[in-house]
Amino acid sequence: MSPLPTVNCGVSNMPVVGLGTFKSGVDEVGAAVEEAIRCGYRHLDCAMIYGNEKEVGVALAKLFKEGVVKREELFINSKLWNTYHRKEEVVVGCDKTLSDLQLDYLDLYLIHWPVATQPNMGTLNPEDENNVPILDSASPSLTETWEAMEQLVRDGKCRNIGLSNFNKKQVEEILEFSSRTGGIKPACLQVESHPYLPNLELAKFCQKNDIEFVAFRPLGGPPRKGQVSLLGDKDILKIAEAHGKSPAQILIRYHVDRGIVAIPKSVNPDRIKQNFEVSNFVLSTSEMETLNNICQRFTKRSCLAPHFKHCPNYPFKDEISD
């Protein structure tokens, strides 16, 4: 089986398939990380809000101690949470993640959402009595947060910085700012992407601007009422049968063949291994066209985060109703 390729991500090489850790429980994420690294994964996607970075750190320390892998052989990214958007708070958030992961540096650090909520309230999800997120009273701008992210690179805390869940206009704002100030441009944009939401135009925009496009939920999210999961879609099942592969493998290869990084998540050892075994086949032009056109039948973003809809920088206002 030929090795999976890497893509350029700023000053680093990013493996095109990584292990996602979103919603991986604290009692199972460590074993999932160990299994993934032992079967060949070299890319881990983490975040403070996932609540499991300490457990990931313990697993990494064990793997390093046992000589299974060296730190420099891994590409590890994490994300700045919403309560750390103020200029002076960005380094605090990064340092907390580095401590929990037991690392000296991150390969990539992303602004998780273009949404700033009130810091120092003893919770990562400050809410009022109506369960509405409390916005940061200081209203830090996206560029203020980005400028502090740039300093993290200069201080050696991370090698590359990027964005997550930003829309095109917001990415353009950061690009314009970094160009005007001679700063650091985003190395990566991580967004939801799969055949129900391929984000073709946004991916082209990123490619044009040398921003690596990374797909979270590459297998699709939970199906809505009356809809079929991507793993049970008739077109995907037909392509999977033709290649002797699982629907999940077809979906991951779909991203790889688009030059896009995919970060499927699982804590099941068999699925972790299977999701990584996508290097011995490619999809045909007609199969890629079929997958690209699935969204004409049904388009769905599963990660809308509607509780942020009242925030000034909520990125998906045109997709949600009041």
Catalytic residues: 50
Q: Helix or strand or coil: residue 126?
A: coil
The rounded distance, in Å, linking the Cα atoms of 100 and 53 is 6
| Cα–Cα nearest to 46, from 108, 115, 124 | 108
Cα 181 to Cα 63: distance, rounded to the nearest angstrom: 41
What value does the CA radius of gyration of the chain take, rounded to a whole number of Å? 19
Strands (E), the chain: 6-9, 12-15, 19-20, 43-45, 75-80, 108-111, 161-164, 188-192, 212-216, 261-262
Instruction: Return the residue matching tokens 């793993």.
Output: 231
The Cα–Cα gap between 95 and 75 comes to 18
Q: How far apart are CA 100 and CA 223, in angstroms?
A: 33
Neighbours of 267 (CB within 10 A): 20
- Judge contact between 178 and 186, C-beta under 8 A: yes
| Greatest C-alpha distance within the chain | 56
What is the identity of the amino acid at 141?
S
User: CA–CA separation, 166 vs 213, rounded Å?
Assistant: 12
